[in-house]
Structures are given as C-alpha cells and as structure tokens.
C-alpha cells in the first residue's frame, strides 16, 4: 500500500472516531422532545419559562428547569407569538447562519478537486512513482530516475574485480583524471566523455563500473536504459536533460547507464508509437553528450552486450570515445576470479583453483561465482565445515552437465543403449585428430540427458580449424552409428536428433559462413544477423540464387556423408574398444580420463577410488519414456537438448558455452 492510500485510511479512521465521540456527547445532553400541540398547551398553562426559535425548531425551558424541544408546523401560526407574550414567556430569536465566501467556494469546487486528485493518483501509479512531492511525486514524470550513490554506499574497488586486467587498465585512467585532472590538462589531453563497456553477459561490466566509482570517491549516478522510455512522448528526453543537469551540479561525477541498447538502438526503423519516443530520447542523449554545451567533469559509462545494434552516432568520437572490451576470462583470469570468490568461503587444504580454472573454459565471472556458491551448498548439505575439491568438482559437473537425476530408474536395456551411444561419441573423440580430450563419460541421467560425454580442451581456444570442425562432426555421429552397429537399423533411437542438428549446422556454417569449402569458395552466403538491426538494405543473403542454394545443399550433404563414413569406419576398426567401454559404463556408470586411457590401450579399466564390487549398479523398472541424449562434442560443456519419442527435436534450445563452435570461430 502506498503513502497516499495509508494517509487516506488514517484520516477516515480519525473522522469515524470523532463522529462517534461527538454523537455520544450530544446524545447525553439532548433535550426532551414533544409535539407542537403539547407545547401550545404548556404555554397556555404557564408551564414554559423561555423559548428559543431557530427556524422551524423551538428549544425551550419549563418553569421547573427541564429542557424540551419541538418543531413547529410548516404553516405559520399567527397566534403563537401572542400566546407566548401573554403568558410571560421569554422569546429569543436566533439569527440564521451565514456561510463565508471561502466555505461556499470550497463546497462548490470540491467535486472538481476530487476528480483532479483521482486523476493525479492514477497518473502517478502509471509512472511507478512513490509518495510525496519529491522525485516520485505525481508531477515529476520528466524527472530523472537515476540513483545517486555516495562514497559510503559503494564498497566495491578494483581489488574485487579480476579476470579483465586490460579493461581495468583502461578505466584506471578515468580514476586518475577524476582525482588529479591537472595531470592530463597541462599536456593538452582531454579525458574521454564516454566509455562503452562491451562484452558477453556475466563478464563483470556493471561490477567494473561500480569499482570505478568506489576508487574515484566521486558521486555516482546509476540508471538503466529502460528507465528513460515511458508511454508518454517526450518523457524520456526530459529525463535525460534532468539527469545531466543533476550531474553538472555534482561534477566531477560518473553517470552509469546499464543496458544502453534499450534506448540506443539504431534509428530509422521506427513506424511511430513507442519507437518515436525512444528515438527522441536517443537524440537528446546525443545532444547532451556532445552538443553546444560541454559537460565538464561528467563522464558517462555505459554497458551492453549488443554493440552491433547501437546507433553509429552514439559510438563516434566525442560521445563514447572509448570502447572497453570486457570479454570472457582466460585460464589465468578464471583462476584470479575464483580466488576472489573463494575468499568468502572456508576452504579445505586440497582445493586447487588452477585445476578448476583449467576445467572451466568459456565460463564467465558470473558462472564461476555460481560454481563456488553451488560447492558451498553441497558442503552444507553434507554437514561439512569446509568446502573441498570434491564439492567444487561436483558443482562444476552440475553446471556443465546438469544435475544428477538419481530418482530416475532405467531398465538394463535403456542403460545398455545409452552406454553404446556415449561410448560411440567417446571412441571417435579419442581417435580423431585435433579433437578435444574426453573428460568424463557417464550414463547417469543429468538434466534432460540420459547420458553425457564431456570433452574439455587442453587450453583456451579462440578459433577452430577445418580439421577440428570435421573431427567434431564425426564425433557427433558416433552415438547414432554405435546404436546402428549394435542394435541394427531398426534399433536406432531418436536420441541422436540433436546430434544431427548440430552436425548439420556445423557443416552448413563451413560452407555458407566460414568459407571452408573448396566448391563454394570464400564467400558468405548467409544473412548477416547484425545487418537486420542496422537499417536494412541488401546483405550477403541476397547473393543466393536457386542454383547457388542447390550447390550449397549438395556441398553440405557431401561433408556430412564423408564424416559419417569416416566415423563408421573408426568404430568398425575399434569395435573391441567400443564393447569394452560399454561394459565399463554398465559396471561403473561413470568413467574418467584415466579409465578411458586404459581402455584405449587395451587394458581393463582401473576401478574408481573406493570402489567395491558390491556397489555395482543393478537394473530397475522404467519410470520415464525417454531416449538417450548426448553431450556436446565441443569443449563447451554438455548438450542438454533433448528429443521426444516421435523423433522430433525438443523445443528447448541446447545450452552451450561461448567456446562452442556453433557460434563460429572468433572473428567470424
């Protein structure tokens, strides 16, 4: 309930209480009522001492001192006054009450004031404002919603930011300027008016902006791009003006605009309505950042993960002079980020952050914070006092492969089918050149998958070679081929539907996007996704004719057929290893890199640490009607995409890390 509603209820309660008290007092002292005939008789009998006539109401006092009250008829009684005077009754007349001009004006204007009050109340509710007459008042539509944070409110410093050393160096210059501007001005240098932080979600753009304010010890205005645009035209532009006016009064200061793509998208594609309001807001922002009036001492920092959709005028020098790339951390960066988050939890002596960093390629800072939190939760469930390496590994597996579904019971037939499927992926992944090493294979259901084959690269990867893509396509078909070899053509399940989809996408991108086909040459035949947001026009997709599309399809089919045949031959030549790996999965349910090496070397796989033959899993009864799934064939984590029983692809988009080749090599 807001403040206005609370005040209204309070005054209603007070009025009700006062009315009740007044009625009680007035009831206690009310005179005796009588009819008019009795009043006339008592006057003639000389029982009345005095009367007060107030219009139609007559209040009087008898000779014995008692009070009475009566109402005379509407018709005039000409003998009443004669009777009163003849019987020695004292008559007192009461002057009619006269209302002041202000009272009459208030009564006349009350309905209008009530309507205006209701209108202002609902307008404020639509604007989402608070009570009172301040920034959230009903007449403050055009006021800025930026939150002003003081030095005491911001505790974040550069010590709390890790994994983006280059970005920190870029913004440290801003801190130096805010602290000592003469150092730059005496050499003729000018600090950038705007800094745009660009990077994937979760990489720490907002955290880095907070650390700038914490280090500089200057006022910090924080606002989201969506806070500018409202349903009324002109409100956003007014808020931009008000925000910069407030910032000038607090200069030197920092304005931080999070998710600036909400208001800074490229102009020219609007058809009226809310888009016109957004463009007006953007125009005002452009003028404020670099117009006739200079904003001395006001630095604008913005963050976005969609720089491709921003208006070119926003990115030109003089507005956002500097773009700071806050990318995914490398292995050293991940180790430093883990060090920051691990300081907050009690650690065991066996924890090695460098090992965790190596096993988490493509993780952002937010992912690593989530990993540490999940490990702490695992330790708490186990009633442990410290977080050990086992909990961190378990948390990593949960994030990358999904949570274990221990309550799900599978038949031996389904387990065997899943084991063959995952073994097919693993065998081909271990044999194909330049393929990422196999990290773990399991037939324990995780997430939406009945089985997972996990690959991890030995080092961070920023691009893919043609051989690496071919190897991944081959390993993707390994599960389906293993089912076909062991169960026959009619025994192949729908579990490979997502494998087929991802292999087809890789082959298509090789031909149409990455220029890795000799037949089609180094041309881009796909639509440029970012071009759709930059004002339209013709793009690469317009190059395709009917003949070109046919040639593209044939080339994609040629790559798929070649990889399928190569993968089939590998499994044929290594059928003994496929059977040995399947047997190990049926016995242990999960095998790691050491056990996989034993199998590929022709030895019996070593049992897991602490293994007891009595622990061998048994069969059960099926509780679900699912088909086995497969993990990602890249070093980016498992594929959680599923398939339903009729072989159609699941509606959910499979989750993948930024290093997943589906997004293309770096710079593509």
The token duo for 531 is 């071009």
What is the model's pLDDT at position 130?
A: 41
Spatial separation of the C-alpha atoms in residues 119 and 121, rounded to whole Å: 5
Which pLDDT score is estimated for 408? 67
**Mean pLDDT of successive 10-residue stretches along the chain, which has 668 residues:** 62 70 56 83 86 83 87 77 82 72 77 81 58 45 62 70 77 77 76 84 83 79 77 73 83 84 75 62 83 70 87 85 84 87 88 85 87 91 89 84 70 83 90 86 77 77 86 92 87 84 92 88 71 39 71 92 92 89 86 85 79 55 34 34 34 34 29
| Predicted pLDDT at 97 | 66
Is the distance from CB of 654 to CB of 400 less than 8 angstroms?
Answer: no
CA distances from 476 to 110, 168, 277, 351 (A): 77, 40, 48, 34
Token pair 């979600």: residue? 201
Per-residue pLDDT, 417 = 85
What's domain 331-401's architecture? Answer: Orthogonal Bundle (1.10)
Rounded Cα–Cα distance for residues 190 and 204 (Å): 27
Beta bridge partners of 58: 53, 70
What element of type H or E holds 302?
strand 298-304
Alpha helices, H only, 589-643: 593-600
pLDDT digits (tens, 9 = 90+) for 287-344: 888 766 665 678 888 888 888 888 888 888 888 888 888 888 888 888 888 888 888 8
Q: Top-level CATH class of 412-609+622-659?
A: mainly alpha
In the residue annotation, 180 being an active-site residue is answered as: no
d(CA 301, CA 194): 6
With contact defined as beta carbons under 8 Å apart, do 243 and 298 qualify? Answer: no
- Alpha-carbon distance of 311 to 320, in angstroms, equals 11
Residue 459, phi-psi category: left (phi > 0), alpha (psi -120 to 50), beta (remainder): beta
351-367 pLDDT tens trace? 888 888 888 888 888 88
Catalytically annotated residue among 230, 288, 422, 629: 422
The DSSP line for 354-399 is HHHHHT-TT--HHHHHHHHHHHHHHHHHTT-SSB-HHHHHHHHHHH
Q: Which residue has the tokens 């995952």?
A: 422
256's enclosing H/E stretch is strand 253-258
d(CA 604, CA 617): 18
Q: Are 338 and 357 in contact (CB under 8 A)?
A: yes
| Residue 497, pLDDT score | 84
- What top-level class would CATH report for the domain 147-325? alpha beta
For the chain, how far is it from start to end, CA to CA, in angstroms? 53
- Rounded to whole angstroms, the Cα distance separating 23 from 53 reads 23
Q: What is the DSSP string of 457-481?
A: -SS--S---HHHHHHHHHHHHHHHH
Q: Which pLDDT value is given to residue 21?
A: 60
Q: Which of 481, 384, 382 is nearest to 431 (CA)?
A: 481
Hey, where are the domains in the chain?
147-325, 331-401, 412-609+622-659
């Amino acid at each position: 309930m807001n403040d206005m509603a609370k005040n209204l209820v309070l005054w209603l309660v007070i009025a009700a209480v006062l009315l009740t008290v007044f009625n009680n007092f007035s009831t206690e002292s009310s005179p005796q009522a009588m009819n008019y005939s009795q009043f006339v008789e008592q006057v003639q009998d000389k029982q009345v001492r005095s009367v007060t006539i107030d219009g139609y109401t007559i209040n009087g006092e008898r000779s014995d001192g008692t009070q009475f009250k009566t109402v005379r008829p509407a018709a005039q009684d000409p003998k009443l006054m004669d009777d009163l005077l003849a019987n020695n009754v004292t008559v007192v007349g009461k002057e009619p009450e006269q209302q002041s001009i202000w009272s009459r004006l208030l009564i006349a204007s009350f309905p209008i004031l009530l309507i205006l009050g209701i209108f202002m109340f609902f307008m404020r509710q639509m604007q989402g404002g608070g009570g009172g007459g301040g920034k959230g008042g009903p007449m403050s539509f055009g006021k800025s919603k930026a939150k002003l944070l003081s030095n005491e409110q911001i505790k974040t410093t550069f010590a709390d930011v890790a994994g983006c050393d280059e970005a920190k160096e870029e913004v440290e210059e801003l801190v130096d300027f805010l602290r000592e501007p003469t150092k730059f001005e005496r050499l003729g240098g000018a600090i950038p008016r705007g800094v745009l932080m660009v990077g994937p979600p979760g990489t720490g753009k907002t955290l880095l902006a907070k650390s700038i304010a914490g280090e500089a010890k200057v006022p910090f205005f924080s606002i989201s791009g969506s806070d500018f645009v409202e349903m009324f035209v002109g409100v956003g532009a007014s808020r931009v003006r008000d925000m910069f006016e407030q910032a000038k009064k607090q200069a030197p200061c920092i304005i931080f605009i999070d998710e600036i793509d909400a208001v800074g998208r490229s102009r020219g594609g609007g058809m009226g309505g809310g888009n016109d309001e957004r463009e007006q807001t953007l125009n005002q922002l452009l003028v404020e950042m670099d117009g006739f009036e200079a904003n001395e001492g006001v630095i604008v920092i913005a963050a976005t993960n969609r720089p491709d959709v921003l208006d070119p005028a926003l990115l030109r020098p003089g507005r956002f002079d500097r773009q700071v790339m806050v990318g995914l951390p490398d292995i050293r960066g991940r180790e430093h980020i883990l060090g920051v988050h691990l300081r907050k939890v009690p650690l065991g002596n066996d924890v090695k952050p460098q090992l965790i960093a190596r096993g988490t390629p493509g993780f952002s800072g937010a992912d690593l914070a989530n990993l540490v939190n999940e490990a702490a939760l695992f330790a708490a469930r186990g009633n442990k006092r410290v977080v050990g390496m086992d909990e961190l590994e378990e948390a990593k597996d949960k994030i990358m492969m999904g949570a274990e579904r221990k309550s799900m019971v599978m038949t031996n037939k389904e387990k065997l089918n899943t084991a063959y499927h995952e073994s097919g992926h693993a065998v081909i992944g271990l044999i194909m050149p330049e393929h990422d090493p196999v990290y773990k294979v399991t037939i324990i259901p995780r997430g939406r998958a009945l089985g997972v084959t996990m690959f991890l690269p030995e080092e961070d990867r920023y691009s893919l070679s043609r051989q690496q893509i071919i190897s991944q396509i081959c390993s993707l078909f390994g599960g389906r081929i293993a089912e076909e070899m062991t169960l026959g053509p009619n025994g192949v399940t729908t579990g490979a539907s997502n494998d087929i989809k991802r292999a087809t996408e890789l082959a298509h991108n090789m031909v149409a996007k990455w220029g890795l086909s000799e037949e089609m040459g180094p041309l881009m035949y796909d639509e440029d996704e970012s071009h759709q947001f930059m004002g339209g026009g013709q793009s690469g997709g317009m190059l395709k004719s009917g003949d070109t599309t046919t040639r593209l399809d044939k080339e994609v089919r040629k790559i798929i057929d070649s990889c399928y045949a190569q993968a089939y031959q590998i499994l044929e030549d290594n059928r003994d290893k496929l059977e040995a790996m399947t047997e190990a999965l049926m016995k242990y349910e999960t095998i790691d890199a050491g056990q996989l090496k034993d199998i590929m070397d022709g030895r019996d796989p070593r049992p897991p640490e602490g293994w007891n033959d009595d622990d061998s899993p048994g069969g059960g009864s099926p509780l679900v009607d699912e088909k086995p799934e497969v993990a990602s064939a890249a070093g980016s984590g498992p594929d959680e995409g599923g398939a339903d029983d009729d072989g159609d692809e699941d509606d959910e988009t499979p989750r993948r890390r930024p290093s997943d080749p589906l997004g293309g090599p770096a710079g593509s």
